[in-house]
Structure 1
Amino acid sequence: MTNKIRLFFQTILGRLTAILLLSHLVFYSIPVNAQNTTEVLNLGKVSNNLFLQQIQVSSKFLETPASQQKWFRWLRGGRKEKQLGESSRRGDAGRRGQCSLLNPPLFALVPEEPFDKTLGNVLPEGLVSSISLTVSEYPIFWFYIPNLPPNLDYSKLEFMLQDNKNNDIFDEPFRLDLDGISGIVGLRIPSTHGLKIEKLYHWYLSIICDPRRPSRNPNVDGWVQRVALTDERERQLQVAKPRKRVEIYAKESIWHETLTLLATSRCFDLKESEFAANWNQLWQNPELAADWNDLLEAVGLSEIAQEPSCSILNLKQ
């Protein structure tokens, strides 16, 4: 990971600590059972975009030139002409079709940065993509799924995973019915197909509206790598309280676990009146509200800042 990514995680810790202290966060396991069809775990309504609460950065960061903030944009589904061997950083919203005018579009909630050139022998030369780190064998991938046009003849969510040599990890892509699924959605890969340490994986997510013409379907893709923490970090995590666990993951630039811990707590705990009151009180602070708006504008996420719902799905074949 680049120094910029590490700097990003360091800058969020100050605001993160304040948020967690006020919120009395309690972390829960997520018992979701999805059979051949998708069973959605509704985790509660949220007044602000749940996955952004860990990036309440300091005014110093917000004052940096836009060119220096460019690495910290989110992948979003938009039109982009791909070059041979290039990953879809912004996704492809599809050509003229039933899902071509989604607003907001499909988003993948991962940081964007140039791919490490030292790994050029592993991936196509010149590849520029997004890579996020996880320590989990079965990580959760986070997306924003927009509301689809009514009366679609066909609508499914398709997720697939490949290694860096384009070998499929799953026997076949996961296809989930999109009926009733929208907002912030986490997809957890099945326990039969765990990620291996130090291996790179290429993920793809598509909204299938026209199964006969794939080019018309919105899609995003990116890379994930599973890494191992040091023995010392592992010992710290075993005894750490929830707030400290988030800090440890953030300091190590472990994107998936930092995001997942905050997201699941945000969803669950907003059901509690005390948490909701503290959260609302926190955002009455003019400085925090201004930073929030500036940051959303900087990363192009103002369209989904008020997204009210979130869910987590277990992928099973």
Structure 2
Amino acid sequence: MMTKNTCIFFKNPVVRVLTAIFIIASVPTQSGAQLTPGYQVSIKFPPVADRGAPERTSPGGRRGGCDLKEATPSHINSRIELTAIAPINNIITTVVPNPAVYVHIATIIDQQVNFRVLEKGTKIEVYNTNFQLPHTAGIVKVKLPETVKLQANKIYNWEFLVICDPEDSSDDKLVKGLLERKSLTFEQLDKIEQIKENPIEQAKLYAEYGVWHETLEILDLLRKNSQFKAEWNELLSSVKLQSLANYPVINCCQVANSRAAPATINNIKKPQPDSLPNTGWGGN
């Protein structure tokens, strides 16, 4: 039940600015075609400081488990490598409570994955799920469900573990990183709201504000229009991931057998995007 204070909060005009960042969800994918032909925006993610996050790639180790004995025409890479689609410091920044994590897998493998999110520096799980990898090489997008409520200004660990041998974990492939939910200033939110009809310009602002997830997600949606492939390529090049720019993003991995910590009144301090109609922004 909504409390009296909550009702008053939703009426606050500032909240309309906070909510405006999610209006881009209602912009159709085809909207890019309405822009001037040749319209292009330079989108580069700014340099980021090293804050002690793990490497973006899975560590090397002995060959075995998921690794193929030799390359074949359909399996160009014989060693399984995982790469987080993240800034160089491997910290995925976001402004939403249930973002997505993108992981590149260059080789087709039919294995189970365990994905989980934990409070940084603890064993407290916020989310834990298992799913089967799609039979496609590409960038796997793991979307946190609406039941997950990452707290603002807090950092989390995430882990993407490919289970190669249920009997021997030494063969498993692991990539991990940090996930941080940021808060933007009212001035920044107002600028984003003012260009709500122009998602490509919103992506540019998110990049300037150091918000990786929203920048990446907008450009992933827009690159379905060939007019915006250059912006996607430039973004990945700016974080030294240009070799992965041509891979498809696979929305495969929000599944039912997941465990998420329940939301509480203590970690919902502002209206959340999951209170808005589901418009399909970013996929599932």
* Structure 1 position 28, deviation (Å): 5.2
**What's the CA shift string for 1:277-310, capped at 9, x where partnerless?**
x468x79xxxxx9x99xx59x93653x4543x22
Between Structure 1 and Structure 2, the one with more helix by share is 1
Alpha carbons of 1:249 and 1:204: their partners in 2 closer, same or farther (altered >3 Å)?
Answer: same
**Residues 166-177 of structure 1 mapped to structure 2, 5 A cutoff:** 166-170=122-126, 173-177=128-132
* Structure 1 position 266, deviation (Å): 1.2
Gaps of 5+ in 1: 1-26, 31-52, 62-68, 74-84, 114-129, 270-275, 284-288
Alignment size in residue pairs: 209
Counterpart of 1:231? 186
1:195 aligns with 2:125: no
* Contact 2:108 2:136 survives alignment (8 Å): no
Counterpart of 1:157? 113
Tell me the distance in 2 between the aligned counterparts of 1:251 and 1:168.
32
* Structure 1 position 257, deviation (Å): 0.8
Alpha carbons of 1:86 and 1:300: their partners in 2 closer, same or farther (altered >3 Å)?
Answer: closer
Gaps of 5+ in 2: 1-23, 28-39, 69-77, 259-284
Tell me the distance in 1 between the aligned counterparts of 2:92 and 2:162.
22
Counterpart of 1:266? 223
Counterpart of 2:107? 147
Secondary structure at the aligned position of 2:81 is classed as coil
Tell me the distance in 2 between the aligned counterparts of 1:312 and 1:29.
19
Counterpart of 2:251? 312
Using the TM superposition, name which of 133-142 and 210-219 deviates more.
Answer: 210-219
Counterpart of 1:244? 201
Counterpart of 1:96? 63
Counterpart of 1:184? 139
1:106 aligns with 2:82: yes
Alpha carbons of 1:159 and 1:93: their partners in 2 closer, same or farther (altered >3 Å)?
Answer: farther
* Contact 2:56 2:83 survives alignment (8 Å): no
* Structure 1 position 264, deviation (Å): 1.8
Alpha carbons of 1:305 and 1:86: their partners in 2 closer, same or farther (altered >3 Å)?
Answer: closer
Tell me the distance in 2 between the aligned counterparts of 1:92 and 1:207.
13
Tell me the distance in 1 between the aligned counterparts of 2:116 and 2:156.
10
**What's the CA shift string for 1:38-73, capped at 9, x where partnerless?**
xxxxxxxxxxxxxxx99876xxx9xxxxxxx9x799
What letter matches 2:135 in structure 1? G
* Contact 1:99 1:148 survives alignment (8 Å): no
Please report the RMSD computed on the Cα atoms of aligned residues, expressed in angstroms: 3.9
* Structure 1 position 104, deviation (Å): 6.7
* Structure 1 position 139, deviation (Å): 0.8
Alpha carbons of 1:138 and 1:238: their partners in 2 closer, same or farther (altered >3 Å)?
Answer: same
Secondary structure at the aligned position of 1:260 is classed as helix
Tell me the distance in 1 between the aligned counterparts of 2:86 and 2:220.
13
Tell me the distance in 1 between the aligned counterparts of 2:186 and 2:251.
30
Tell me the distance in 2 between the aligned counterparts of 1:196 and 1:161.
13
* Structure 1 position 142, deviation (Å): 1.1
* Structure 1 position 103, deviation (Å): 4.9
